[in-house]
Structures are given as C-alpha cells and as structure tokens.
C-alpha cells in the first residue's frame, strides 16, 4: 500500500532544533497530528519518541484513507481490523533490494502502535476533534486481582480498579536481553575507533540510557580525582547526567540529575577519544561529548540514528545481537549479581520506583542449576540451611 501520510523531520531555522510533523502526499501538514506531536515536546518527551509516534500516527491515517474511514470515528471493529492488518501486511523492503523473505511486524509491535493511536485519539478528544464516545470505547475497567511488584493499591484497595486497553494482542512477556562479561568484552574489542570504544564502555560501565550518553556535554565530565576546583563536591572521577534539551534530540529520561562514578579505565578511554577527536578541527569548539568524526557533517553531535548504525555494525562483527539498551541491562545485572545493594543500583540507574529494578535482575542457567542442586543437597543433609 502507498502511504498517504508520512512522518517528516523539521529543522528550526532559528536554532537548528529537530521536531517531527506528519504531512500528506500533497505536502500539507496534518494539523491535528502536528498538535499531538507538539504536545509530546511540551511534555518533555525525547525527539526519538516524537519520531516514533509520528510514524505510527502517519501509518494509522494512511490506513484510514486507503480503507475509506474517517480517522475521527474509527469504531471498534475497524480498529480491531487495523490491529490485525499491522501483523498481516508485509513491511516495505529496506533500501532498493527486495528481501528474500517478506518481513512482518510482531504482535508486540502492533500493540505499541495501537497504544500510540489510542493516545492520539484521546488527545484529539481533549481538543474537541474526536467525540468522547469514540474514546470511551478504547478501554474498559479492570480489577487487579494480582498486583505488579511495587504497585500501591491504596489503603482500601481503591487503586485496584484501572482502565485497560480493549484492543490488543495477548503476548508473552519476553525476557530482557543483556550481555555476559565475555560478550561485553568481545563487543568492546570490535570497536575499532577510540570514540566507539569509549561509548560502549560508558554505556556498559555506568548503566546510562543512550539518550543520556548522547546528551553529555564536556562540562559534565568530572574525571579528576578531586573536582572541587570545578565547584563540585563529588569525590573521585564521575560524570553528571542532566536533563536538558539538545540539538541532536538526546534527552535524559530521568528528571532528577545524578552523578555516576567511573573507573580509571574509562578515564583512559576518554583521553584516547579526545586525542582522536583533536584531529578533527570541526569538533574543536563543540560542547557535546559524542560527535561525528568520520562522516559529514563533521563535529555535529551524534544522534540516535548514528548510535544505532554503530551498534548494528558492532553486532554484525561480534556475531550476536547488541543494542545500546542491552548495555544498561548489562551494567545493572552485573551490579546486582555482585551483591551491590538494590538502593545503590537504583540510584545509579536513575530510577524512582523500586519496581523499576525488577527487569534488571537476570538469572542465568548456572544460577538456576545451583539453586536446584542446593535444594537437593539440603534434602540429603549434605549442607546446612
């Protein structure tokens, strides 16, 4: 199907900041969608989130046009058909070559798209562009018989009743991916440039989100043993993570600033990177830490897309999947498995709720085998409880 609407990047002529819009094939702005995306920016969502949501909304609008639907009044039957279409319709090929096998969206991806569409329709209802009865059909009241970790039901259980999506696929909860120490070392060894080694080591050693790393500025790097001269009382080498708007769209998810200690090895890698960076005159006066050094535009802050391309190349060389967020899981899992207190890990990761720690506790096959064998030994009286 030819998409009638597309998501396009818009660059401000005033300050070079990036935003996203939805336009028709006639190059007309879809005003309701543009307002929705502007609302995301005002709420402090990252440019990467805005880009993703723009593409999902454009996909929904295109589907409605192709099927003769009024996007303001989709109705539950048609939304259910849209959900199934998302997994049944082959994805367009990447690049010019046609893949040997057609690619399809997963049910999990379809659910994510539907969540965005429902959020878009709710936003439009708040503005008076969509009827309230349309939005009322998108969710139903559900009583939580079993509470997720860290969820507060209220003193009288008043928060057990929640609104849940009506239209979605039931999917199994997938495990979170992380790298074991050997894989992490192998991935680091595949990085052939000092900048890339430093980025991989930074993510795997500090647990930063990729948006936090790409948003670092040189003033955030306090790598001396004593930073009092910089007006900072934090002891030892460390980096500061701060939420701020950046020209490359990178944004720290956590709203509270935090400092993260770093090792002497990471300090050395940073020095190697800056020696490499000093060879590129365009990067000399740029305040951002991670910048383009090997392709135009030289000196410009690295973007999410640049980082994804880098990890795709590293993963191909290493022979196993590797994505930036996997290194966040790697750092947290390594800390937990080495008996670092949970509250310390939570602070390092920039989490607010204790329940946010649950995804980062990974058990290995050896952990499970040791547990089973210990129970068997207890029953035989070979070890003490």
**Residue boundaries of the structural domains of the chain:** 5-165, 183-360
The topology under which CATH files domain 183-360 is hpI Integrase; Chain A (1.10.443)
Distance, in Å, from the CA atom of 113 to the CA atom of 35, rounded to the nearest integer, reads: 18
Instruction: List, for residues 14-37, the tens digit of each pLDDT value.
Output: 777 778 999 999 999 999 999 999
178 three-state secondary structure: coil
Q: What is the mean pLDDT of the chain?
A: 87
Cα 336–Cα 172–Cα 148 angle in degrees, nearest 5: 55
89 phi-psi bin (left φ>0, alpha ψ -120 to 50, beta other)? beta
- In tens, the pLDDT along 160-191 reads 665 666 688 876 656 568 899 999 999 999 99
pLDDT band, residue 147 (cuts 50/70/90): low
Beta bridge partners of 163: 141
Compute the radius of gyration of the chain from its Cα atoms.
Answer: 24
Q: What is the pTM of this model?
A: 0.73
Task: Decide if pLDDT at 85 tops 60.
Answer: yes
Listed residue (66, 54, 65) closest to 8, CA to CA: 54
Give per-residue pLDDT as tens, 329-383: 999 888 888 888 888 988 999 876 666 666 666 566 666 667 677 767 777 766 5
Q: Provide the phi-psi class of 242: left if phi over 0, else alpha when psi is between -120 and 50, else beta.
A: beta
Distance CA 105, CA 49 (A): 19
């Amino acid at each position: 199907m030819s998409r009638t609407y597309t998501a396009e990047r818009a660059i401000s002529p005033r300050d070079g900041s990036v935003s996203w819009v939805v336009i028709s094939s006639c190059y007309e702005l879809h005003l309701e969608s543009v307002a929705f995306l502007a609302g995301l920016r005002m709420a402090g969502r990252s440019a990467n989130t805005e880009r993703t949501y723009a593409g999902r909304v454009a996909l929904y609008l295109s589907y409605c046009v192709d099927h003769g639907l009024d996007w303001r009044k989709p109705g539950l039957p048609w939304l259910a058909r849209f959900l199934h279409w998302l997994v049944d319709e082959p994805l367009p090929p990447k690049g010019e070559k046609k893949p040997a096998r057609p690619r399809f969206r997963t049910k999990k991806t379809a659910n994510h798209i539907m969540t965005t569409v429902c959020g878009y329709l709710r936003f439009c209802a708040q503005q008076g562009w969509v009827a309230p009865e349309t939005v009322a059909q998108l969710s139903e009241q559900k009583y939580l018989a079993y509470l997720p970790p860290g969820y507060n039901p209220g003193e009288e259980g008043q928060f057990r009743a929640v609104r849940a999506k009506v239209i979605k696929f039931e999917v199994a909860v997938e495990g979170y991916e992380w790298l074991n120490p050997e894989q992490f070392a192998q991935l680091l060894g595949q990085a052939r440039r000092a900048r890339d080694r430093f980025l991989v080591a930074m993510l795997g050693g500090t647990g930063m989100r990729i948006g936090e790393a790409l948003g670092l500025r040189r003033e955030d790097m306090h790598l001396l043993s004593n930073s009092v001269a910089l007006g900072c009382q934090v002891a030892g080498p460390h980096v500061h993570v701060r939420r701020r708007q950046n020209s490359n769209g990178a944004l720290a998810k956590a709203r509270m600033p935090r400092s993260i200690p770093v090792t002497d090895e990471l300090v050395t890698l940073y020095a190697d990177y800056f020696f490499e960076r000093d060879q590129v005159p365009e990067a000399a006066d740029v305040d951002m830490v991670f910048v383009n050094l090997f392709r135009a535009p030289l000196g410009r802050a690295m973007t999410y897309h640049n980082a994804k391309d880098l990890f795709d190349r590293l993963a191909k060389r290493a022979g196993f999947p590797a994505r930036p967020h996997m290194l966040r899981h790697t750092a947290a899992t390594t800390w937990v498995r080495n008996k670092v207190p949970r509250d310390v890990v939570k602070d390092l990761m920039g989490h607010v709720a204790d329940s946010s720690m649950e995804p980062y506790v990974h058990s290995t096959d050896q952990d499970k085998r040791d547990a089973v064998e210990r129970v068997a030994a207890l029953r035989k009286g070979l070890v003490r409880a």
